[in-house]
Chains A and B, each alone.
Chain A
Amino acid sequence: MASPKRTEDKIESHEDRFLKAFEDYSDALFRHAVIRVSDRERAIDLVHDTFTKVWSYIRSGHEVDSYRSFLYKVLNNLIIDSYRKQREVSLDALFEIEGVDEGSFSELSENSVDALAATIDGRKAFDLLKELPDVYREVITFRFIDGLGPREISELIEETENVVSVRLYRGLKMLREKMEEEVKKAEGKRKNKNETF
Protein backbone atom coordinates (compact mmCIF):
# COMPACT_ATOMS: atom_id res chain seq x y z
CA MET A 1 0.00 0.00 0.00
CA ALA A 2 1.29 3.57 -0.76
CA SER A 3 3.03 5.42 2.05
CA PRO A 4 0.78 7.98 3.74
CA LYS A 5 3.61 10.56 3.74
CA ARG A 6 4.22 10.76 0.06
CA THR A 7 1.35 10.12 -2.27
CA GLU A 8 1.22 13.47 -4.00
CA ASP A 9 3.64 16.41 -4.01
CA LYS A 10 2.85 20.05 -3.35
CA ILE A 11 4.98 22.82 -4.83
CA GLU A 12 6.12 25.50 -2.38
CA SER A 13 8.48 28.44 -3.05
CA HIS A 14 11.48 29.41 -0.92
CA GLU A 15 9.66 32.58 0.10
CA ASP A 16 6.63 30.65 1.27
CA ARG A 17 8.73 28.28 3.34
CA PHE A 18 10.71 31.15 4.83
CA LEU A 19 7.63 33.15 5.82
CA LYS A 20 6.04 30.01 7.24
CA ALA A 21 9.14 29.48 9.38
CA PHE A 22 8.75 33.06 10.64
CA GLU A 23 5.15 32.33 11.54
CA ASP A 24 6.07 29.08 13.30
CA TYR A 25 9.21 30.03 15.21
CA SER A 26 9.36 33.82 15.74
CA ASP A 27 7.68 33.63 19.17
CA ALA A 28 9.90 30.83 20.42
CA LEU A 29 13.02 32.61 19.18
CA PHE A 30 11.93 35.88 20.80
CA ARG A 31 11.28 34.10 24.11
CA HIS A 32 14.73 32.55 24.00
CA ALA A 33 16.39 35.85 23.14
CA VAL A 34 14.60 37.75 25.97
CA ILE A 35 15.67 35.17 28.54
CA ARG A 36 19.24 35.34 27.31
CA VAL A 37 19.71 39.11 26.98
CA SER A 38 17.01 40.31 29.44
CA ASP A 39 16.05 43.14 27.11
CA ARG A 40 12.90 43.10 25.03
CA GLU A 41 13.97 45.54 22.36
CA ARG A 42 17.33 43.87 21.90
CA ALA A 43 15.57 40.53 21.66
CA ILE A 44 13.33 41.78 18.83
CA ASP A 45 16.37 43.07 16.96
CA LEU A 46 18.15 39.78 17.47
CA VAL A 47 15.18 37.87 16.03
CA HIS A 48 15.05 40.22 13.06
CA ASP A 49 18.78 39.80 12.45
CA THR A 50 18.39 36.04 12.71
CA PHE A 51 15.81 35.89 9.96
CA THR A 52 17.65 38.32 7.69
CA LYS A 53 20.83 36.29 8.05
CA VAL A 54 18.95 33.11 7.14
CA TRP A 55 17.39 34.85 4.14
CA SER A 56 20.87 35.91 2.96
CA TYR A 57 21.99 32.32 3.37
CA ILE A 58 19.15 31.12 1.12
CA ARG A 59 19.89 33.90 -1.40
CA SER A 60 23.47 32.69 -1.68
CA GLY A 61 22.21 29.37 -3.00
CA HIS A 62 22.01 27.23 0.11
CA GLU A 63 19.13 25.01 1.14
CA VAL A 64 17.74 24.83 4.64
CA ASP A 65 16.40 21.39 5.53
CA SER A 66 15.30 22.11 9.07
CA TYR A 67 14.45 25.72 9.83
CA ARG A 68 14.04 25.17 13.54
CA SER A 69 17.55 24.02 14.37
CA PHE A 70 19.14 26.41 11.88
CA LEU A 71 17.30 29.45 13.26
CA TYR A 72 18.30 28.58 16.82
CA LYS A 73 21.93 28.23 15.78
CA VAL A 74 22.01 31.60 14.05
CA LEU A 75 20.25 33.26 16.99
CA ASN A 76 22.65 31.71 19.47
CA ASN A 77 25.66 32.94 17.49
CA LEU A 78 24.18 36.44 17.35
CA ILE A 79 23.60 36.46 21.11
CA ILE A 80 27.19 35.40 21.73
CA ASP A 81 28.40 38.12 19.36
CA SER A 82 26.31 40.69 21.21
CA TYR A 83 27.86 39.60 24.51
CA ARG A 84 31.31 39.92 23.03
CA LYS A 85 30.56 43.45 21.93
CA GLN A 86 29.10 44.43 25.29
CA ARG A 87 31.61 42.88 27.60
CA GLU A 88 35.32 43.30 27.39
CA VAL A 89 36.00 40.05 29.11
CA SER A 90 35.98 37.29 26.49
CA LEU A 91 34.05 34.15 26.88
CA ASP A 92 37.27 32.16 26.74
CA ALA A 93 38.42 34.03 29.82
CA LEU A 94 35.07 33.30 31.39
CA PHE A 95 35.65 29.63 30.71
CA GLU A 96 39.05 29.85 32.37
CA ILE A 97 37.47 31.36 35.47
CA GLU A 98 34.69 28.87 35.51
CA GLY A 99 37.11 26.06 34.77
CA VAL A 100 34.76 24.15 32.57
CA ASP A 101 36.10 20.69 32.23
CA GLU A 102 34.66 17.32 31.54
CA GLY A 103 33.22 17.33 35.02
CA SER A 104 32.86 14.60 37.58
CA PHE A 105 30.91 11.48 36.81
CA SER A 106 27.94 12.62 38.90
CA GLU A 107 27.65 15.85 36.93
CA LEU A 108 27.78 14.06 33.60
CA SER A 109 24.88 11.75 34.27
CA GLU A 110 21.55 12.78 32.74
CA ASN A 111 19.88 11.19 35.74
CA SER A 112 21.77 13.57 38.03
CA VAL A 113 20.53 16.52 36.03
CA ASP A 114 16.97 15.19 36.17
CA ALA A 115 17.19 14.48 39.88
CA LEU A 116 18.53 17.96 40.58
CA ALA A 117 15.89 19.63 38.39
CA ALA A 118 13.17 17.77 40.29
CA THR A 119 14.20 19.51 43.50
CA ILE A 120 13.79 23.01 42.07
CA ASP A 121 10.61 25.04 41.73
CA GLY A 122 10.53 26.06 38.09
CA ARG A 123 8.35 29.11 38.69
CA LYS A 124 10.84 30.67 41.11
CA ALA A 125 13.79 29.51 39.02
CA PHE A 126 12.52 31.41 35.99
CA ASP A 127 12.89 34.76 37.76
CA LEU A 128 16.45 33.91 38.82
CA LEU A 129 17.62 32.80 35.36
CA LYS A 130 18.88 36.26 34.46
CA GLU A 131 21.31 36.12 37.41
CA LEU A 132 23.09 33.08 36.02
CA PRO A 133 26.19 33.38 33.84
CA ASP A 134 25.22 33.12 30.19
CA VAL A 135 27.03 29.82 29.65
CA TYR A 136 24.57 28.21 32.09
CA ARG A 137 21.55 30.29 31.19
CA GLU A 138 22.05 29.32 27.53
CA VAL A 139 21.90 25.57 28.06
CA ILE A 140 19.09 25.73 30.63
CA THR A 141 16.97 27.80 28.27
CA PHE A 142 17.64 25.47 25.35
CA ARG A 143 16.90 22.39 27.44
CA PHE A 144 13.94 23.32 29.60
CA ILE A 145 12.23 26.14 27.73
CA ASP A 146 12.97 25.44 24.06
CA GLY A 147 12.75 21.68 24.61
CA LEU A 148 15.92 20.73 22.77
CA GLY A 149 17.79 17.51 23.60
CA PRO A 150 21.43 17.36 24.77
CA ARG A 151 22.62 16.31 21.31
CA GLU A 152 20.79 19.18 19.58
CA ILE A 153 22.21 21.65 22.10
CA SER A 154 25.72 20.30 21.62
CA GLU A 155 25.40 20.82 17.86
CA LEU A 156 24.05 24.33 18.36
CA ILE A 157 26.75 25.56 20.71
CA GLU A 158 29.45 23.39 19.10
CA GLU A 159 30.44 21.63 22.27
CA THR A 160 30.35 17.99 23.28
CA GLU A 161 27.34 16.45 24.98
CA ASN A 162 29.48 16.02 28.08
CA VAL A 163 30.06 19.74 28.29
CA VAL A 164 26.33 20.36 27.84
CA SER A 165 25.49 17.97 30.68
CA VAL A 166 28.09 19.55 32.97
CA ARG A 167 26.80 23.06 32.29
CA LEU A 168 23.20 21.95 32.86
CA TYR A 169 24.11 20.43 36.19
CA ARG A 170 26.16 23.40 37.38
CA GLY A 171 23.55 25.85 36.15
CA LEU A 172 20.77 24.07 38.03
CA LYS A 173 22.95 23.82 41.13
CA MET A 174 23.61 27.53 40.98
CA LEU A 175 19.89 28.20 40.57
CA ARG A 176 19.09 26.16 43.64
CA GLU A 177 21.77 27.93 45.66
CA LYS A 178 20.38 31.31 44.63
CA MET A 179 16.88 30.20 45.57
CA GLU A 180 18.11 29.07 49.00
CA GLU A 181 19.84 32.43 49.43
CA GLU A 182 16.58 34.18 48.57
CA VAL A 183 14.73 32.11 51.14
CA LYS A 184 17.35 32.92 53.82
CA LYS A 185 17.18 36.61 52.97
CA ALA A 186 13.41 36.56 53.25
CA GLU A 187 13.60 34.75 56.62
CA GLY A 188 16.21 37.23 57.86
CA LYS A 189 14.00 40.19 56.92
CA ARG A 190 11.04 38.60 58.72
CA LYS A 191 13.12 38.08 61.88
CA ASN A 192 14.29 41.65 61.83
CA LYS A 193 10.71 42.83 61.48
CA ASN A 194 9.60 40.70 64.42
CA GLU A 195 12.47 41.93 66.55
CA THR A 196 11.61 45.52 65.73
CA PHE A 197 8.07 44.98 66.94
Chain B
Amino acid sequence: MKRFSEQLHKKSESLYLKVDEKRALEERLVSYMEYHPLASDRKVKTIVEQSWADPVVRVINLNNLKLWQWTGATMAILLLVVPYVAEKAVPGDMLYAVKVNFNEEVRSTLALSPYDKVVWETERLNRRIAEARLLASEGKMTEELGNSVAEAVLVHSENAKKEIEHLKQTDEDGAVLASIQLDTTIDVQSTALMSEVQSSSTESVMAVRLVDVLAKTQESDQELESVLPSRERLVGQVESETTRAYELLDSIKSYATLEEQLDIKTSS
Protein backbone atom coordinates (compact mmCIF):
# COMPACT_ATOMS: atom_id res chain seq x y z
CA MET B 1 0.00 0.00 0.00
CA LYS B 2 2.89 2.30 0.76
CA ARG B 3 4.22 1.95 -2.77
CA PHE B 4 0.79 2.66 -4.30
CA SER B 5 0.32 5.66 -2.00
CA GLU B 6 3.78 7.03 -2.79
CA GLN B 7 3.28 6.63 -6.56
CA LEU B 8 -0.12 8.29 -6.43
CA HIS B 9 1.16 11.08 -4.23
CA LYS B 10 4.17 11.71 -6.42
CA LYS B 11 2.02 11.87 -9.53
CA SER B 12 -0.36 14.29 -7.82
CA GLU B 13 2.52 16.67 -7.05
CA SER B 14 2.39 17.71 -10.69
CA LEU B 15 -0.81 19.50 -9.72
CA TYR B 16 -0.10 22.72 -7.86
CA LEU B 17 -0.97 26.38 -7.90
CA LYS B 18 1.30 28.38 -10.16
CA VAL B 19 3.01 31.34 -8.58
CA ASP B 20 0.79 33.92 -10.29
CA GLU B 21 -2.31 31.86 -9.55
CA LYS B 22 -1.39 31.65 -5.87
CA ARG B 23 -0.62 35.37 -5.71
CA ALA B 24 -3.94 36.22 -7.37
CA LEU B 25 -5.79 33.91 -5.03
CA GLU B 26 -4.09 35.48 -2.02
CA GLU B 27 -4.93 38.98 -3.19
CA ARG B 28 -8.58 38.02 -3.62
CA LEU B 29 -8.60 36.57 -0.15
CA VAL B 30 -6.92 39.58 1.48
CA SER B 31 -9.43 41.89 -0.27
CA TYR B 32 -12.23 39.78 1.08
CA MET B 33 -10.73 40.01 4.56
CA GLU B 34 -10.45 43.79 4.29
CA TYR B 35 -14.05 44.11 3.14
CA HIS B 36 -15.15 41.78 5.89
CA PRO B 37 -12.93 42.67 8.82
CA LEU B 38 -13.09 41.06 12.21
CA ALA B 39 -15.23 42.71 14.88
CA SER B 40 -13.18 44.79 17.34
CA ASP B 41 -13.71 42.27 20.15
CA ARG B 42 -12.49 39.54 17.83
CA LYS B 43 -9.22 41.37 17.36
CA VAL B 44 -8.18 39.93 20.73
CA LYS B 45 -4.97 38.12 20.15
CA THR B 46 -4.67 34.48 20.70
CA ILE B 47 -1.84 32.84 22.55
CA VAL B 48 0.15 30.27 20.71
CA GLU B 49 2.55 27.90 22.37
CA GLN B 50 6.13 28.25 21.27
CA SER B 51 8.08 25.30 20.12
CA TRP B 52 11.29 23.99 21.45
CA ALA B 53 13.01 25.22 18.26
CA ASP B 54 12.56 28.84 19.34
CA PRO B 55 15.90 30.28 20.58
CA VAL B 56 14.27 32.12 23.51
CA VAL B 57 12.68 28.88 24.68
CA ARG B 58 16.00 27.11 24.38
CA VAL B 59 17.72 29.79 26.50
CA ILE B 60 15.12 29.45 29.22
CA ASN B 61 15.47 25.69 29.29
CA LEU B 62 19.24 25.94 29.36
CA ASN B 63 18.92 28.19 32.42
CA ASN B 64 16.75 25.54 34.03
CA LEU B 65 19.45 22.99 33.26
CA LYS B 66 22.07 25.18 34.90
CA LEU B 67 19.77 25.63 37.89
CA TRP B 68 19.50 21.87 38.29
CA GLN B 69 23.25 21.53 38.03
CA TRP B 70 23.77 24.15 40.72
CA THR B 71 21.17 22.50 42.92
CA GLY B 72 22.86 19.13 42.50
CA ALA B 73 26.25 20.59 43.33
CA THR B 74 24.86 22.36 46.40
CA MET B 75 23.19 19.17 47.63
CA ALA B 76 26.44 17.26 47.14
CA ILE B 77 28.29 19.87 49.20
CA LEU B 78 25.65 19.84 51.91
CA LEU B 79 25.41 16.08 52.17
CA LEU B 80 29.04 15.07 51.65
CA VAL B 81 31.52 17.86 52.15
CA VAL B 82 29.96 19.57 55.18
CA PRO B 83 29.60 16.39 57.27
CA TYR B 84 33.20 15.43 56.42
CA VAL B 85 34.52 18.78 57.55
CA ALA B 86 32.23 18.76 60.61
CA GLU B 87 33.94 15.63 61.98
CA LYS B 88 36.83 17.78 63.19
CA ALA B 89 34.59 20.29 64.95
CA VAL B 90 34.70 20.84 68.71
CA PRO B 91 32.14 22.48 71.03
CA GLY B 92 31.76 26.15 70.09
CA ASP B 93 32.49 25.60 66.39
CA MET B 94 29.87 26.40 63.77
CA LEU B 95 29.77 22.87 62.42
CA TYR B 96 29.71 21.19 65.83
CA ALA B 97 25.91 20.91 65.71
CA VAL B 98 26.23 19.12 62.32
CA LYS B 99 28.72 16.70 63.89
CA VAL B 100 26.56 15.87 66.91
CA ASN B 101 23.05 16.16 65.51
CA PHE B 102 23.61 14.85 61.99
CA ASN B 103 26.81 12.78 61.63
CA GLU B 104 26.53 11.01 64.96
CA GLU B 105 22.76 10.53 64.69
CA VAL B 106 23.18 8.95 61.23
CA ARG B 107 25.76 6.59 62.68
CA SER B 108 23.34 5.79 65.51
CA THR B 109 20.74 4.67 63.00
CA LEU B 110 23.36 2.47 61.31
CA ALA B 111 23.94 0.63 64.59
CA LEU B 112 21.31 -2.04 64.17
CA SER B 113 21.73 -4.24 67.23
CA PRO B 114 21.48 -3.06 70.87
CA TYR B 115 25.08 -4.18 71.38
CA ASP B 116 26.25 -1.95 68.52
CA LYS B 117 24.23 0.90 69.98
CA VAL B 118 25.96 0.51 73.35
CA VAL B 119 29.34 0.48 71.63
CA TRP B 120 28.44 3.62 69.72
CA GLU B 121 27.15 5.48 72.78
CA THR B 122 30.39 4.56 74.56
CA GLU B 123 32.31 5.91 71.60
CA ARG B 124 30.32 9.16 71.74
CA LEU B 125 31.12 9.44 75.44
CA ASN B 126 34.82 9.09 74.59
CA ARG B 127 34.48 11.76 71.93
CA ARG B 128 32.93 14.25 74.34
CA ILE B 129 35.72 13.74 76.85
CA ALA B 130 38.37 14.02 74.13
CA GLU B 131 36.80 17.26 72.90
CA ALA B 132 36.74 18.64 76.43
CA ARG B 133 40.44 17.80 76.87
CA LEU B 134 41.31 19.48 73.57
CA LEU B 135 39.44 22.64 74.48
CA ALA B 136 41.00 22.72 77.95
CA SER B 137 44.51 22.25 76.51
CA GLU B 138 43.95 25.14 74.09
CA GLY B 139 42.53 27.34 76.86
CA LYS B 140 39.17 27.61 75.11
CA MET B 141 37.12 25.88 77.78
CA THR B 142 34.36 28.08 79.22
CA GLU B 143 31.76 27.35 81.88
CA GLU B 144 29.02 27.09 79.31
CA LEU B 145 31.00 24.65 77.17
CA GLY B 146 31.95 22.69 80.25
CA ASN B 147 28.27 22.34 81.23
CA SER B 148 27.32 21.14 77.77
CA VAL B 149 30.14 18.56 77.70
CA ALA B 150 29.22 17.27 81.14
CA GLU B 151 25.58 17.04 80.16
CA ALA B 152 26.48 15.18 76.96
CA VAL B 153 28.64 12.68 78.87
CA LEU B 154 25.72 12.02 81.20
CA VAL B 155 23.27 11.58 78.29
CA HIS B 156 25.50 9.16 76.40
CA SER B 157 26.16 7.00 79.43
CA GLU B 158 22.43 6.95 80.24
CA ASN B 159 21.67 5.94 76.63
CA ALA B 160 24.24 3.17 76.84
CA LYS B 161 22.69 1.87 80.06
CA LYS B 162 19.21 1.89 78.47
CA GLU B 163 20.48 -0.16 75.55
CA ILE B 164 22.11 -2.58 77.97
CA GLU B 165 18.71 -2.99 79.69
CA HIS B 166 17.14 -3.76 76.30
CA LEU B 167 19.90 -6.19 75.52
CA LYS B 168 19.36 -8.04 78.79
CA GLN B 169 15.90 -9.13 77.57
CA THR B 170 17.28 -11.02 74.58
CA ASP B 171 20.98 -11.57 75.10
CA GLU B 172 22.30 -11.65 78.63
CA ASP B 173 25.86 -12.44 77.59
CA GLY B 174 25.83 -9.53 75.20
CA ALA B 175 24.46 -7.26 77.91
CA VAL B 176 27.24 -8.34 80.27
CA LEU B 177 29.93 -7.73 77.64
CA ALA B 178 28.44 -4.35 76.76
CA SER B 179 28.31 -3.41 80.41
CA ILE B 180 31.95 -4.44 80.85
CA GLN B 181 32.88 -2.31 77.85
CA LEU B 182 31.06 0.73 79.21
CA ASP B 183 32.50 0.35 82.69
CA THR B 184 36.00 -0.12 81.29
CA THR B 185 35.71 3.03 79.22
CA ILE B 186 34.48 5.03 82.19
CA ASP B 187 37.28 3.62 84.38
CA VAL B 188 39.98 4.45 81.85
CA GLN B 189 38.67 7.96 81.34
CA SER B 190 38.30 8.54 85.08
CA THR B 191 41.86 7.34 85.68
CA ALA B 192 43.23 9.60 82.96
CA LEU B 193 41.28 12.57 84.29
CA MET B 194 42.40 11.88 87.87
CA SER B 195 46.02 11.99 86.75
CA GLU B 196 45.35 15.43 85.28
CA VAL B 197 43.80 16.59 88.53
CA GLN B 198 46.86 15.43 90.43
CA SER B 199 49.12 17.30 88.08
CA SER B 200 47.33 20.45 89.33
CA SER B 201 47.32 22.13 85.93
CA THR B 202 44.87 24.83 84.90
CA GLU B 203 43.01 22.22 82.91
CA SER B 204 42.22 20.28 86.03
CA VAL B 205 39.02 22.23 86.81
CA MET B 206 37.31 20.64 83.86
CA ALA B 207 38.87 17.29 84.66
CA VAL B 208 37.43 17.38 88.19
CA ARG B 209 34.01 18.13 86.81
CA LEU B 210 34.18 15.21 84.39
CA VAL B 211 35.43 12.83 87.06
CA ASP B 212 32.36 13.72 89.16
CA VAL B 213 30.05 13.14 86.22
CA LEU B 214 31.66 9.81 85.41
CA ALA B 215 31.39 8.77 89.02
CA LYS B 216 27.63 9.47 88.92
CA THR B 217 27.22 7.40 85.78
CA GLN B 218 29.09 4.51 87.27
CA GLU B 219 26.11 3.11 89.10
CA SER B 220 26.87 -0.51 89.21
CA ASP B 221 24.29 -2.84 87.98
CA GLN B 222 24.28 -5.37 90.83
CA GLU B 223 22.47 -7.92 88.78
CA LEU B 224 24.98 -7.82 85.93
CA GLU B 225 28.04 -7.63 88.18
CA SER B 226 27.29 -11.01 89.54
CA VAL B 227 26.85 -12.56 86.10
CA LEU B 228 29.72 -13.63 83.90
CA PRO B 229 29.34 -14.09 80.19
CA SER B 230 29.81 -17.53 78.72
CA ARG B 231 33.40 -18.52 78.06
CA GLU B 232 32.94 -18.84 74.30
CA ARG B 233 31.36 -15.43 74.07
CA LEU B 234 34.06 -13.87 76.18
CA VAL B 235 36.87 -15.47 74.21
CA GLY B 236 35.23 -14.37 70.97
CA GLN B 237 34.97 -10.81 72.23
CA VAL B 238 38.59 -10.81 73.37
CA GLU B 239 39.71 -12.10 69.98
CA SER B 240 37.80 -9.47 68.05
CA GLU B 241 39.05 -6.67 70.30
CA THR B 242 42.62 -7.91 70.03
CA THR B 243 42.39 -8.13 66.27
CA ARG B 244 41.05 -4.62 66.13
CA ALA B 245 43.85 -3.39 68.39
CA TYR B 246 46.50 -4.93 66.11
CA GLU B 247 44.78 -3.44 63.07
CA LEU B 248 44.85 -0.02 64.68
CA LEU B 249 48.50 -0.50 65.62
CA ASP B 250 49.36 -1.39 62.02
CA SER B 251 47.52 1.65 60.77
CA ILE B 252 49.60 4.07 62.85
CA LYS B 253 52.99 2.47 62.08
CA SER B 254 53.49 4.72 59.09
CA TYR B 255 53.42 7.96 61.11
CA ALA B 256 54.01 6.99 64.78
CA THR B 257 57.57 6.89 66.10
CA LEU B 258 59.06 3.68 67.51
CA GLU B 259 58.85 5.08 71.02
CA GLU B 260 55.19 5.86 70.63
CA GLN B 261 54.50 2.42 69.22
CA LEU B 262 56.36 0.80 72.13
CA ASP B 263 54.46 2.97 74.56
CA ILE B 264 51.16 1.81 73.11
CA LYS B 265 52.20 -1.83 73.20
CA THR B 266 53.37 -1.71 76.80
CA SER B 267 50.31 0.20 78.03
CA SER B 268 47.97 -2.24 76.32
Contact = CB atoms under 8 A, between A and B. Distances in A.
Contact of B1 (A4, A22, A117): A117
Nearest to A120: B4
Contacts of B32: 52, 55
B85 to A, nearest CB: 32
Contacts of B61: 1-2, 4, 7
Interface stretch (B14-22, B160-168, B198-206, B222-230): B14-22
B20 to A, nearest CB: 11
21 contacts: A1-B61, A1-B64, A4-B57, A8-B50, A9-B50, A11-B46, A13-B45, A13-B46, A14-B38, A30-B17, A31-B13, A44-B25, A59-B38, A61-B39, A117-B1, A118-B3, A122-B3, A122-B4, A125-B8, A144-B4, A147-B9
B4 A22 contact: no
Interface string A56-91: 101101010000000000000000000000000000
B72 to A, nearest CB: 13
The B interface, classified by DSSP as helix, strand, loop or mixed, is: helix
A131 interface: no
B6 interface: yes
Determine the interface band of chain B, counting residues with CB < 8 A from chain A.
Answer: 35 or more
Nearest to A143: B5
Given A7-B57, A11-B47, A122 B29 contact: no
A61 B42 contact: yes
B38 A10 contact: no
Contacts of B11: 122-123, 126
A8 B56 contact: yes
B10 to A, nearest CB: 8
B48 interface: yes
B42 A117 contact: no
A79 B25 CA distance: 18
A96 interface: no
A122 B57 contact: no
Given A58-B42, A117-B4, A120-B4, 12 more contacts: A2-B64, A5-B51, A13-B46, A17-B46, A18-B33, A114-B1, A118-B3, A122-B5, A123-B7, A123-B8, A144-B5, A147-B9
A122 B8 contact: yes
Contact of A31 (B15, B36, B65): B15
Interface in A94-117: 113-115, 117
Determine the interface band of chain A, counting residues with CB < 8 A from chain B.
Answer: 35 or more
A193 interface: no
Interface string B186-230: 000000000000000000000000000000000000000000000
Interface string B34-59: 00111100110111111110101100
A144 B46 contact: no
A58 B32 CA distance: 13
Contacts of A125: 4, 7-8
Contacts of A10: 47-50, 54
Contact of B50 (A6, A31, A123): A6
Contact of B29 (A2, A22, A34): A22
A37 B256 CA distance: 102
Contact of B45 (A11, A19, A31, A55): A11
Interface in A10-28: 10-15, 17-19, 22, 26-27
B52 to A, nearest CB: 4
Contacts of B52: 4-5
A183 interface: no
A144 B13 CA distance: 12
A47 interface: yes
A100 B57 CA distance: 52
A9 B21 contact: no
A115 B11 CA distance: 21
B60 to A, nearest CB: 5
Contacts of A121: 4, 7
A188 to B, nearest CB: 26
B46 A59 contact: no
A59 B8 contact: no
